[in-house]
Amino acid sequence: MTSLVIAEHDNASIKGATLNTVTAAAAIGADVHVLVAGHNAGAAAAAAAQIAGVSKVIHADGASLEAGLAESVAAQVLAIASNYTHILFPATANGKNVAPRVAAKLDVGQISDITKVDSPDTFERPIYAGNAIATVQSADAVKVITVRTTGFDAAAATGGSAAVETAGAAADSGKSSFVGREVTKSDRPELTAAKIIVSGGRALGSSEKFNEVMTPLADKLGAAIGASRAAVDAGYAANDLQVGQTGKIVAPQLYVACGISGAIQHLAGMKDSKVIVAINKDPEAPIFSVADFGLEADLFTAVPELVAAL
């Protein structure tokens, strides 16, 4: 029994989501190998070899793998899939994009977004936007899994000394090409990795107000900025800031929800945060039912006051 973790990386370094996925793989109880599929990704492969608990790194390098296209990465995984009983991807945009291609080609079902490993074939995963937790068992020979990173602690990024083995890169499918990327430029920590998140809802009323009110608070706390789906739908915040079942799942040390009512789909994305603060003028807002500290107040006065008091 051996597990393969598909590393999330940017060719230069390993992304944090990989570390949580390694922990999930270790919980299965098998040897853990990591695949780094990229281009000029030697540094990422070397970093993967340092992760505690990893016994081997497979480094596939080629131009076809540079942009992480699903067709190429899936082909790369399939080329070595027969060596493994479990293939785990972080449930990131990349992991979700590639994993089902691998599962379908192997003719196995996929277990998405696991939050707990019960046994090598039994896992827990949230369904209905986190309103229920299903325990599921796979009868397939290979388990293709995506791992909800907030469900597992990060493995130590150093302390390991795995051997790095190189593999030939899969051929380009010729059917898909990468055109460009618009990365949201920000000096703030990444949402899924942030220790503190301040999040705004529809009550902010406009994109100008969203920035005007939320930015100083984020700056003061060194926090990442998040938003509810309602705020994103209304155009107050970019979609990649969306916290919730259909956006990012986060679990920071401190989550400050401002003007967010607390729809179930939002709660599903942040209720594992260590400490939750809610600022809302509606005393009946469901967000108060999960908040450690609730402040019933108008956010337009309370948030600037909070910024001043910090």
Residue from 29, 63, 128, 166 in contact with another protein (CB under 8 A): 128
CA distance 106 to 108: 5
Q: To the nearest whole angstrom, how small is the minimum distance from the Cβ of residue 176 to another protein?
A: 4
Q: To the nearest whole angstrom, how small is the minimum distance from the Cβ of residue 58 to another protein?
A: 21
Residue from 155, 229, 259, 285 in contact with another protein (CB under 8 A): 229
Q: Which of residues 4-63 bind another protein (CB under 8 A)?
A: none
Q: To the nearest whole angstrom, how small is the minimum distance from the Cβ of residue 110 to another protein?
A: 5
CA distance 107 to 97: 17
Which H or E run contains 309?
helix 299-309
**141 lines the binding site for another protein (CB under 8 A):** no
**171 lines the binding site for another protein (CB under 8 A):** no
CB atoms under 10 Å from CB of 178, counted, come to 9
**107 lines the binding site for another protein (CB under 8 A):** yes
Residue the block writes with tokens 């070397």:
46
Tokens for 269, please give them.
Answer: 């994305």
CA distance 175 to 212: 44
AA identity, residue 161 = S
Residue from 82, 181, 187, 284 in contact with another protein (CB under 8 A): 181
Q: What angle do CA 266, 249, 26 make, to 5 degrees?
A: 145
Q: Which of residues 85-104 bind another protein (CB under 8 A)?
A: 92-94, 96-104
CA distance 76 to 51: 22
Residue from 63, 127, 163, 171 in contact with another protein (CB under 8 A): 127
Site string for another protein, 281-300 (x = CB under 8 A): -------xxxxxxxxxx---
